[in-house]
Amino acid sequence: MQKKKKAYKGAGRATDFLITIPGFLLYSFLFMVPVCMGFYYSLTDWNGVSKNYNFVGIQNYIKLFSDSRFLGSLGFTVKYTVLLIIGVVVISLTTALILNSKIRCGDFFRSMFFFPAVLSLMTVGLIFKEIYYRAVPLIGEWLNIEVLKTNILSNPDLAIYGILFANIWTASAIPMVLFYAGLKNVPMDLYEAASIDGATFWQKFKSITVPYILPTFSMVFILQLKAGLGVFDYIMALTGGGPGGATESIGTLIYKGAFEERRFGYAVAESIVLLVMIAAISLIQVKMTQNKEVNE
């Protein structure tokens, strides 16, 4: 009997191993191999086309941190990412709290708020480009608001907020659903006990809601961190990095460096730095929230 159990366990382990092989091969071929090749090319001066290139070691990485264009795009990207995370978390969480309060026509409003998620990023960018070019200046004339009388995308100081508005409008849909699902997992008896004790809405939110939705918050944070640091579609559709490079992110800088300026090795070095930034910040954030999660 014991021999049969051991044989059964051994067969089960072998089956589990065989099942994981296709996924492991796809992951290796589509992710690990390109990352390793990219790291190698970041140590060269390859232009992306020629068969001949020189190995330059870490010179590309050294040059990065004295490159004013890279540092400028890095500063823009970090600012954009921080504002994106704050905007998405505030709007999606607020919307989820409202929808969780048993309002009338809740299904209709949930569908309406989720609608932007089904649109392509480039389509959203082109739609908002027309809005900023035609509708907003007209509204500015009607209301006599000087800052809105011209296309905000042509203003180096305001262009980032035009891109952010379009991005947040689309990006808040899925986090709203995640927060809504997380709120459904909070035990109602805790709210009832807190209400009996005279707790305010803010006290219940801080002491009950937040600890239970921290795993959801962590997920939303990482998703928006990745989206913010790698923002590309909205910028290319709305400003192309202008005016005067005011909205050039690391993503657009990498694209232009690799495919327009033929500095492929240098552009890959920029992408490796971006990858390390996303991984490091995500790891720190996950470690910080793990200790505060509620263990049911």
Least confident of 213-222, 270-279, 280-289: 280-289
- Residues 205-229 as b/e (b if ≥16 CB within 10 A, e otherwise) read eeebbeebbbbbbbbbbbbbbbbbb
CATH at 107? 1.10.3720.10
Q: What is the mean pLDDT of the chain?
A: 86
Per-residue confidence (pLDDT) for residue 22, from 0 to 100: 86
Of residues 224 and 294, which shows the higher confidence score?
224
Residue 264 has pLDDT above 60, yes or no: yes
71-92 tens-digit pLDDT: 999 999 999 999 999 999 999 9
**Residue closest to 64 by CA, chosen among 257, 232, 281, 279:** 257
The reply to whether 265 falls in a domain is yes
Query: Between vectors from CA 96 to CA 90 and to CA 100, what angle results, nearest 5°?
Result: 145
**Residue (of 102, 117, 229) closest to 178 by Cα position:** 117
Domain tally for the chain? 1
pLDDT for the residue 6: 55
234-244: pLDDT as tens digits: 999 999 998 88
Per-residue pLDDT, 120: 83
Rounded distance between C-alpha atoms, residue 48 and residue 296, angstroms:
52
Give residue 290's pLDDT. 67
293 Cα distance to chain centroid: 22
Lowest mean pLDDT segment, chosen from 1-5, 107-111, 148-152? 1-5
Confidence band for 55, pLDDT divided at 50, 70 and 90: very high
Residue 269 has pLDDT above 90, yes or no: yes
pLDDT, mean of residues 36-60: 91
Q: Return d(Cα 110, Cα 142) in angstroms, integer.
A: 33
Identify the pLDDT of residue 146: 85
* pLDDT class of 194 with cuts at 50, 70, 90: confident
Report residue 273 as tokens: 């730095």
pLDDT in tens, 90-115: 999 999 988 887 777 667 777 788 88
Within a domain: residue 234? yes
Mean pLDDT of 249-276: 92
Q: Grade residue 171 by pLDDT with cuts at 50, 70 and 90.
A: very high
pLDDT at res. 291: 60
CA–CA separation, 76 and 87 (whole Å): 16
- On whether residue 173 sits in a domain, the answer given is yes
Are the C-beta atoms of 230 and 238 separated by less than 8 Å? no
Mean pLDDT of 174-191: 89
CA distance to 13, 17, 27, 272, per residue, from 31 (Å): 26, 20, 5, 13
Q: For residue 177, give the nearest of 84, 86, 96 by alpha carbon.
A: 96
User: DSSP character for 147?
Assistant: G
| Residue percentage of the chain with pLDDT more than 90 | 40
Q: Is residue 210 part of a domain?
A: yes
Confidence category of residue 41, pLDDT binned at 50, 70, 90 = very high
Contact 230, 274 (CB under 8 A): yes
Confidence class of residue 218 from pLDDT cuts 50, 70 and 90?
confident
**DSSP for 41-60?**
HTTB---SS-S---B-TTHH
Separation CA 135–CA 143 (nearest Å): 12
Phi/psi region, residue 293 (left: phi>0; alpha: psi -120 to 50; beta: rest), is beta
Residue for token pair 């240098």? 266
Mean pLDDT of 166-180: 93
For the ranges 12-16, 147-151, 254-258, the one whose mean pLDDT is highest: 254-258
| Within a domain: 56 | no
* Residue 50 included in any domain: no
Alpha carbon 213 to its chain centroid, in Å, reads 19
Whether residue 41 lies inside any domain: the answer is no
Helix spans in the chain (H): 2-27, 33-41, 59-64, 68-99, 106-114, 121-130, 136-143, 159-171, 173-184, 188-196, 201-204, 210-229, 233-238, 250-255, 264-290
Which of 60, 53, 16 lies closest to 266 in space, CA to CA?
60
Helix (H, G, I), strand (E, B) or coil at 104: coil
Rounded to an integer, what distance in angstroms lies between the CA atom of residue 37 and that of residue 35? Answer: 5
Give the SS3 label for residue 165: helix
pLDDT at 58 over 60: yes
Residue 188 lies in a domain: yes
Domain that holds residue 171: 64-290
CA distance 163 to 165: 6
